């Protein structure tokens, strides 16, 4: 089981994660949405497609754009559609 943890809170937890380019992608139903807020940030990966971001919020602390996902990935990345990955100090434990 993998867990995404920030500031002592488990943000996501699942056995059904995907690892892509060293990043753990958690299925949508494993995410604790109360810790996420949609961001206006977007980026593009040449082979995965258009990414959208979330700010991660624990108590009063905000980790800007610390989570991302691909709502409509390119065919090569279809297995991570809407899965959420983390960075910027969020720890992944397996």
47 confidence band (pLDDT: 50, 70, 90) = very high
Q: How many CA atoms lie within 13 A of 72 on its CB side?
A: 2
Q: Which residue in this structure is represented by tokens 């279809």?
A: 78
Average pLDDT (55-84) is 97
pLDDT at 72: 97
Specify the CATH number for the domain of residue 73.
Answer: 2.170.150.40
Position 28 scores a pLDDT of 97
Number of domains in the chain: 1
Q: Model pTM? A: 0.96
Average of per-residue pLDDT across 41-55: 98
Q: What is the mean pLDDT of residues 11-28?
A: 97
Domain hosting 64: range is 2-93
Query: Residue 68's closest CA among 93, 48, 42, 94?
Result: 42
33 — pLDDT class (breaks 50, 70, 90): very high
């Amino acid at each position: 089981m993998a867990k995404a943890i920030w500031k002592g809170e488990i943000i996501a937890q699942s056995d059904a994660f995907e690892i892509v380019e060293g990043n753990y992608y958690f299925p949508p139903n494993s995410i604790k949405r109360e810790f996420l807020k949609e961001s206006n940030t977007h980026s593009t990966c040449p082979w995965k497609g258009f990414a959208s971001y979330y700010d991660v919020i624990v108590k009063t602390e905000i980790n800007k754009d610390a989570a991302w996902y691909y709502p409509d990935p390119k065919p090569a990345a279809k297995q991570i559609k809407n899965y959420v990955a983390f960075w910027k100090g969020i720890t992944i434990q397996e």
